[in-house]
Amino acid sequence: MKTCLRLFSVGLVFITTIVVAQVSNVEGLTPLDGVPTKRQSNIESSDNQREDKFWEDVKSAGNKKAFEAYIKQYPNGRFIDLAKAYIERMKSNPAPITNALPSNSLMAAVLWSYEGDNGPQHWGDTFPICEAGEKQSPINIVDPFERSYDVLNVDYKVGPLKLLNNGHTIQVNVEAGSTLTINHDIFHLLQFHFHRPSEEQINGKNSAMILHFVHKSQDGKLAILGVLLNEGKDNGAIKTLWANLPLRQGEEYRPEKVNFNPTALIPKELGFYNYEGSLSTPPCTEGVQFYILKKPMEISKDQVAKFPYKLNARPIQSLNGRQIGASSN
């Protein structure tokens, strides 16, 4: 089975480097997610439904003509990168590809993992930046620090709860409207997700878990706010999340009438360490600003045990001369 998967992965290396690099730029995001816009009306959502339907038809046809039709009809469509990648793939293998490919959101999931043949030591085989990059995440946060004067402002809004088990973590998708402001730059919260144990270390020590809040600015810059979770008391907000865990991998679960405010997972004091890093999952894209809050939140031992992934943290990466910043508080 493993050999089979491996062969399958190798066959997909070509297409996935394109697809994953272009489509899934944000750590833990499914390729279908994008930057939320403020304008989200019913008209937009019915347009999206039409596009989804068209895309499903194109995908089930699985031939070059169908993908070209999609590109023509939706030149700025949400699946444009996938459509182009599929066409590229067909240049070397013109057979219809529908049965050969997993669904979009699961595509990345089969190509890398945290252990074994597709573990972090091998990510670079398929995703070159993971190995060649010099500003990779996570890091061990240890002094000397450079004083940072950045000012953070977290403004998260309550919204309907949407959870996704993407095969690597539990991710909570967030509606447009929640922001992190760094000085005067506004970053929109897209999603947050968990790592066990924490990816970032403080003085060589891991916390039980870490939360990564993933944000994107209008011009495409990424900022991740990290909240360490130390073992302690039951966490009420996490209780709500765990009570609504999706049973199946790859499908977003929207429990009826459950609202959630991510602010419940942010400590009051926003003192931080900051550094420039990367997505800590393939394709390991660099240029991501990290702000790891000094103040941890608590999570109970039982709650840690209920998280469905025993290990989903990338090992510590070399600092390579990067300066770590720290706020005064």
Q: Report how far residue 187's alpha carbon sits from residue 181's, in angstroms, rounded to the nearest whole number.
A: 6
126-129 LR contacts (CB < 8 Å, sep 24+):
126/9, 126/13, 126/16, 126/17, 126/282, 127/17, 127/20, 127/21, 127/282, 127/283, 127/284, 128/17, 129/278, 129/283, 129/284, 129/285, 129/286
Catalytic residues: 168
For the bound state, the minimum distance from the C-beta of residue 246 to Zn ion, rounded and expressed in Å, comes to 18
39 half-sphere exposure, CB direction, 13 A CA radius: 2
For the bound state, the minimum distance from the C-beta of residue 312 to Zn ion, rounded and expressed in Å, comes to 9
Residue number, 27 or 33, with CB nearest to Zn ion: 27
Q: Please compute Rg for the chain using Cα positions.
A: 20
| Contact positions with Zn ion (CB under 5 A) in 259-318 | none
Residue number, 15 or 173, with CB nearest to Zn ion: 173
For the bound state, the minimum distance from the C-beta of residue 16 to Zn ion, rounded and expressed in Å, comes to 20
For the bound state, the minimum distance from the C-beta of residue 27 to Zn ion, rounded and expressed in Å, comes to 5
Scanning 15-23, 27-35, 177-185, 316-324 for contacts with Zn ion by CB under 5 A, the matching segment is 27-35
Q: Report how far residue 289's alpha carbon sits from residue 283's, in angstroms, rounded to the nearest whole number.
A: 16
For the bound state, the minimum distance from the C-beta of residue 199 to Zn ion, rounded and expressed in Å, comes to 6
Contacts with Zn ion by CB under 5 A: the residue count is: 2
Scanning 73-81, 133-141, 204-212, 305-313 for contacts with Zn ion by CB under 5 A, the matching segment is 204-212
Residue number, 138 or 325, with CB nearest to Zn ion: 138
Query: Binding to Zn ion by residue 168, rule CB under 5 A?
Result: no
- Looking at residue 247, the DSSP 8-state letter turns out to be S
Scanning 209-217, 246-254, 295-303, 318-326 for contacts with Zn ion by CB under 5 A, the matching segment is 209-217
Judge contact between 63 and 96, C-beta under 8 A.
Answer: yes
- Closest chain position to Zn ion (CB): 212
Residue number, 58 or 190, with CB nearest to Zn ion: 190
Q: Report how far residue 164's alpha carbon sits from residue 248's, in angstroms, rounded to the nearest whole number.
A: 9
Residue number, 212 or 216, with CB nearest to Zn ion: 212
Residue number, 70 or 213, with CB nearest to Zn ion: 213
DSSP conformation letters of 151-201: -EEEE---EE-EEEE-SSSEEEE--TT-EEEETTEEEEEEEEEEESS-SSE
Task: Determine whether 168 is exposed, middle or buried from the number of CB atoms within 10 Å of its CB (0-12, 13-18, 19+).
Answer: buried
For the bound state, the minimum distance from the C-beta of residue 37 to Zn ion, rounded and expressed in Å, comes to 24
Given 135, 212, 215, 314, the residue binding Zn ion (CB under 5 A): 212
Scanning 80-88, 110-118, 145-153, 212-220 for contacts with Zn ion by CB under 5 A, the matching segment is 212-220
Which residues sit at the interface with Zn ion, rule CB under 5 A? 27, 212
